[in-house]
Amino acid sequence: MLLAALAAASATALIAPAVATAAPETADATATAVPAVLDATALPGARTTDPAGTRTQWPETLGLPKAWAEKVILRDRPDLRVVHVPEGALVTMEYDENRVRIVHDAFGLVTQVPTIG
């Protein structure tokens, strides 16, 4: 329980500055709130797009709760099907260009970089 509280506090600290700077008059009440996370380009060596410029990886979601990670992925690529996979679970090996798996631990925190496939 303590680890979950610490993880939630660190995720809150990660998004707090971006949320505090948002202007309240620009908020759309009907839009789903998506947390502001680190920009993927800020991570060294992170290739997050294919040659056509389409997002294929989301390294900025590592350590975030799985629900937030799903919202970040669907914000970038609403055409994808997101599958939540517990860490260590058996999965099929076929490649599916319309699927992204979010691997999470027992606390629901993302433990592997979500990638298309």
Domains of the chain with bracketed CATH? 2-104 (3.30.10.10)
Task: Kindly indicate the confidence band of residue 5, based on its pLDDT and cuts at 50, 70 and 90.
Answer: low
3-state secondary structure of 109: strand
Each residue's pLDDT tens digit, 38-96: 544 444 555 677 787 788 999 999 999 999 999 999 999 999 999 999 999 999 999 99
> What pLDDT score does 114 carry?
95
Asked if residue 58 lies in contact with residue 46, where contact means CB atoms within 8 angstroms, the answer is no
Helices (H) and strands (E) in the chain — how many of each? 2, 2
Distance of CA 61 to the CA centre of its chain: 4
